[in-house]
């Protein structure tokens, strides 16, 4: 059996979503420049149009000469461009089961692509290949990797996009607490450029979340790479009475010694990061530096299921858990293939996480704060038979 074609599908659908979108303003590294401070943290292009929102997406398809097909999506149009330019010639003619060989060929061929967009595109190819293998062997991918390690995965509610007005934080925390979530992550609005008033605003979010959640819920806070060491230490000390579980990406991803310094000084508050790091080699540098308490590499960016399995093994040797940056269904399969200590938790983006469901046959819907481990063959990213319109199908020819 050989791979004989690689295609992209451009599809559209309507998203019937009646909760508020685009309420939040989170601090990001580029927010220091007023002209770059506009916040793109909502999942639809035209939030003013109202529900149902018109949404579109690209899916990657890998075909074989015996008729089986692997699918991965939504993927970016940039992913499709890179796959077309760099990887199609490598894929055609290969045995689709030989994922390790194909990954290595792509990695060696794309030597400037070790990090960032090319590795993100390579991850999408890897996921489509694992989906294909699951379908060829009639098994869910977590099973092919040694899972399932549990029947359902505890999920944490990731509140990207929701207002951080304290009164709204209280309201939404209570709402999702009642749906069974036992852990929440809020995205803090302010950074060093916002001075003392900003510190008070951040603290008000943390206080509101704790007051609404009660004493037994894990509360995490994401600084989106926009702080520095003194600011983070100050936020940790001022918020200590509200028992934050972790502060995420306090500084830019390249500041590895600064992560390590924060981790040494944080005294009981965890420092997490790694979503903007790639492959086993990038992650090993974080582990060797003792930079993070929790690794958050992304299965759709860091090299796919193949590479994330290696990253999990590597991290377990350092006794560092991997709680992947969201990643949807591929994250569920990866986590379900790992031990409970290696991958204890899945991120569930309440707003962005629901959007891909409009395209999917298998909807990812947490129940009682948990994601059920799926049994369908492959990675569960098949297109729904109804409600999805094909706008364009393209054979990638390199």
Figure out which of the listed residues 63, 222, 298, 307 binds Mg ion, where binding follows CB under 5 A.
222
Sign of dihedral through CA atoms 227, 291, 243, 178?
A: positive
Q: Which stretch binds Mg ion (CB under 5 A): 34-42, 244-252, 284-292, 370-378?
A: 244-252
Report which DSSP code applies to 149: S
Helix (H, G, I), strand (E, B) or coil at 167: helix
Q: Least CB distance from residue 295 to Mg ion, whole Å?
A: 12
Q: Least CB distance from residue 275 to Mg ion, whole Å?
A: 5
Q: Which stretch binds Mg ion (CB under 5 A): 56-64, 163-171, 219-227, 314-322?
A: 219-227
* Stated length of the chain: 398
Q: Which stretch binds Mg ion (CB under 5 A): 25-33, 143-151, 175-183, 215-223?
A: 215-223
- CA distances from residue 123 to 4, 36, 40, 195, 256 in whole angstroms, order as listed: 20, 28, 24, 39, 24
Measured from the CB atom, is 140 or 161 closer to Mg ion?
161
- CA nearest neighbour of 152 among 320, 365, 387, 395: 365
- Check: CB of residue 168 under 8 Å from CB of residue 23: yes
Helix (H, G, I), strand (E, B) or coil at 238: helix
Q: Least CB distance from residue 222 to Mg ion, whole Å?
A: 5
Asked if residue 298 binds Mg ion (CB under 5 A), the reply is no
Measured from the CB atom, is 131 or 222 closer to Mg ion?
222
Q: Least CB distance from residue 248 to Mg ion, whole Å?
A: 5
Measured from the CB atom, is 105 or 115 closer to Mg ion?
115
Measured from the CB atom, is 250 or 366 closer to Mg ion?
250
Measured from the CB atom, is 134 or 327 closer to Mg ion?
327
Q: Least CB distance from residue 41 to Mg ion, whole Å?
A: 11
Q: Least CB distance from residue 224 to Mg ion, whole Å?
A: 7
- Check: CB of residue 61 under 8 Å from CB of residue 9: yes
Distance CA 241, CA 246 (A): 13
Measured from the CB atom, is 94 or 248 closer to Mg ion?
248
- Check: CB of residue 283 under 8 Å from CB of residue 295: yes
Q: Least CB distance from residue 319 to Mg ion, whole Å?
A: 22
Q: Which stretch binds Mg ion (CB under 5 A): 197-205, 216-224, 283-291, 349-357?
A: 216-224
Q: Bridge-partner residues for 156, per DSSP? A: 347
- Check: CB of residue 183 under 8 Å from CB of residue 345: yes
Count residues binding Mg ion (CB under 5 A). 2
Q: Which stretch binds Mg ion (CB under 5 A): 102-110, 124-132, 240-248, 276-284?
A: 240-248
- Check: CB of residue 162 under 8 Å from CB of residue 24: yes
User: Residue 206 — left, alpha, or beta (φ > 0 → left; ψ -120 to 50 → alpha)?
Assistant: alpha
Answer yes or no: 112 catalytic. no
Helix (H, G, I), strand (E, B) or coil at 195: helix
- CA nearest neighbour of 336 among 157, 142, 155, 167: 142
> Looking only at residues 25 through 84 of this chain, which bind Mg ion when binding is defined by CB under 5 A?
none
- CA nearest neighbour of 130 among 367, 393, 306, 328: 306
Catalytic-role residue among 325, 326, 352, 370: 325
Measured from the CB atom, is 63 or 222 closer to Mg ion?
222
Residues in contact with Mg ion, shown as a per-residue x/- string from 101 to 140 under the rule CB under 5 A = ----------------------------------------
Distance CA 321, CA 293 (A): 8
> Looking only at residues 245 through 264 of this chain, which bind Mg ion when binding is defined by CB under 5 A?
248
Measured from the CB atom, is 126 or 222 closer to Mg ion?
222
Structure tokens at 166: 């304290």
Q: Which stretch binds Mg ion (CB under 5 A): 45-53, 169-177, 200-208, 242-250?
A: 242-250
Q: Least CB distance from residue 98 to Mg ion, whole Å?
A: 34
DSSP code string of 258-280: HHHHHHHHSTTSEEEE-TT--HH
CB closest to Mg ion, residue no: 222
The residues annotated with a catalytic role in the active site are 325
By the criterion CB under 5 A, which residues form the site for Mg ion?
222, 248
């Amino acid at each position: 059996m050989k791979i004989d074609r690689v295609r992209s599908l451009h599809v559209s659908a309507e998203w019937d979503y009646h909760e508020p979108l685009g309420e939040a303003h989170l601090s990001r590294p580029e927010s220091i420049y007023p002209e770059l401070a506009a916040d793109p943290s909502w999942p639809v292009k035209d939030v003013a149009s109202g529900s149902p929102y018109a949404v579109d997406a690209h899916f990657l398809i890998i075909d074989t000469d015996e008729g089986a097909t692997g699918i991965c999506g939504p993927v970016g149009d940039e992913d499709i461009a890179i796959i077309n330019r760099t990887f199609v010639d490598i894929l055609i003619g290969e045995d689709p089961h030989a994922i390790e060989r194909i990954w290595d060929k792509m990695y060696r061929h794309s030597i400037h692509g070790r990090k960032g967009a090319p590795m993100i595109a390579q991850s999408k190819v890897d996921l489509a290949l694992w989906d294909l293998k699951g379908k060829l062997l009639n098994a869910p991918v977590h099973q092919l990797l040694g899972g399932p390690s549990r029947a359902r995965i505890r999920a944490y509610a990731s509140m990207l996009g929701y207002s951080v007005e304290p009164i709204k934080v209280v309201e939404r925390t209570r709402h999702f607490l009642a749906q069974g979530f036992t852990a929440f992550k809020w995205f803090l609005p302010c950074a060093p450029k916002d001075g003392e008033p900003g510190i008070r605003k951040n603290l008000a979010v943390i206080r509101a979340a704790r007051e609404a959640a009660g004493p037994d819920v894990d509360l995490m806070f994401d600084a989106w790479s926009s702080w520095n060491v003194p600011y983070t230490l100050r936020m940790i000390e001022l918020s200590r009475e509200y028992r934050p579980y972790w502060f995420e990406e306090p500084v830019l991803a390249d500041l590895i010694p600064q992560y390590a310094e924060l981790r040494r000084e944080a005294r009981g508050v965890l420092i997490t990061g790694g979503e903007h790091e790639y492959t086993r080699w990038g992650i090993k540098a974080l582990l060797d530096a003792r930079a993070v308490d929790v690794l958050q590499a992304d299965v759709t960016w860091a090299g796919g299921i193949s590479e994330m399995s290696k990253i999990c093994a590597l991290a377990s040797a350092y006794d560092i858990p991997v709680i992947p940056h969201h990643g949807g269904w591929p994250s569920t399969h990866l986590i379900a293939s790992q031990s409970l200590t290696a991958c204890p938790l899945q991120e569930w983006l309440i707003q962005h996480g629901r959007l891909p469901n409009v395209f999917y046959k298998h909807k990812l819907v947490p129940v009682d704060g948990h994601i059920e481990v799926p049994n369908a063959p492959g990675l569960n990213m098949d297109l729904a038979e109804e409600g999805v319109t094909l706008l364009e199908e393209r054979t990638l020819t390199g």
